[in-house]
Chains A and B, each alone.
Chain A
Amino acid sequence: GQQVMQIPQYQHVQEGEDFTTYCNSSTTLSNIQWYKQRPGGHPVFLIQLVKSGEVKKQKRLTFQFGEAKKNSSLHITATQTTDVGTYFCAGIDYGGSQGNLIFGKGTKLSVKP
C-alpha cells in the first residue's frame, strides 16, 4: 500500500541552528499536509501544499513540494526552543488512500538552548 517515509526520525540541534525534515512517498500525491505535535499535545495543522514545485513560507518555516509530487520538505531557520516537537507530513492520494491522510512517522526535534 501507499507509504510515506520521513527522515530523520530524530534531530537534536543547538538553538539558532537550522533544521530540515524530509518526506517521501511511494506514490504521486494529490497534496501534502504538515502537522506539528508538541510534547504531550495533539497534532496541529501547519500547512497544505497542492501544486507541483510549490514553496510556501510561514515566518521561519519554509515548506516545499517536489516537482514530481512525491516528496516534500520542511525547513526551519534559526530554531528556537518553541520549535520543539514532532513534525509530521501527511500525504493524500485520492486514488490509493481514498483521499485520506497517510502520515509519516514524524521527525522529533529537540532544541538545546
Chain B
Amino acid sequence: DSGVTQTPKHLITATGQRVTLRCSPRSGDLSVYWYQQSLDQGLQFLIHYYNGEERAKGNILERFSAQQFPDLHSELNLSSLELGDSALYFCASSVEDSGYEQYFGPGTRLTVT
C-alpha cells in the first residue's frame, strides 16, 4: 500500500459525459501528478501540482482539467468523453517538487462506451 488513495476504482460512462477522478496523496506529500496509461501508450504524464499550484502540463487534452485543493487532495476532470479516453488513470505523489520518487495510487479504470 503506497498511501495514495484514488476513487473510484472503476468508472463506466458514455461518450459525451463528464467524470471526476479523485486522489489523496500520501500524508505530508506536497506534489500530485496525474498519468494516463493506455494499452499501447505506456504512462503518459498529464499534469503536476505542487502545494496547490500547477507546475507543469504534459500531454493533457483541453477537455481535461485538474486542480489541487488546500488539503492537498486533487481532482482530475474529464469532459466530453470519447471512446479513446478509456484508460487507467493513475495519481502519484511525492514529498516535494519534481525530481523525487513518486508513489502511485491504485488507479481508476475508466471505460467509455
Contacts and interface: CB of A to CB of B under 8 A. Distances in A.
A48 B94 CA distance: 14
Contacts of A92: 98-99
Contacts of B105: 42
- By DSSP majority rule, is chain A's interface helix, strand, loop, or mixed? strand
A98 B103 contact: no
Interface in B29-77: 33, 35, 41-45, 48, 55-56, 58
A45 B101 contact: yes
A9 B35 CA distance: 20
B42 A106 contact: yes
B104 A44 contact: yes
A87 B73 CA distance: 28
A13 interface: no
11 contacts: A33-B101, A42-B104, A42-B105, A48-B101, A98-B55, A99-B97, A100-B48, A101-B33, A103-B35, A103-B43, A105-B42
Interface residues of A, number: 24
A75 to B, nearest CB: 21
Interface in A53-85: none
B58 A100 contact: yes
Contact of B2 (A33, A42, A104): A42
B102 interface: yes
B99 A99 contact: yes
A26 B55 CA distance: 23
Contacts of B56: 97-100
Contacts of B99: 30-31, 92, 94, 99
Contact of A88 (B42, B55, B97): B42
Given A98-B55, A100-B33, A45 B102 contact: yes
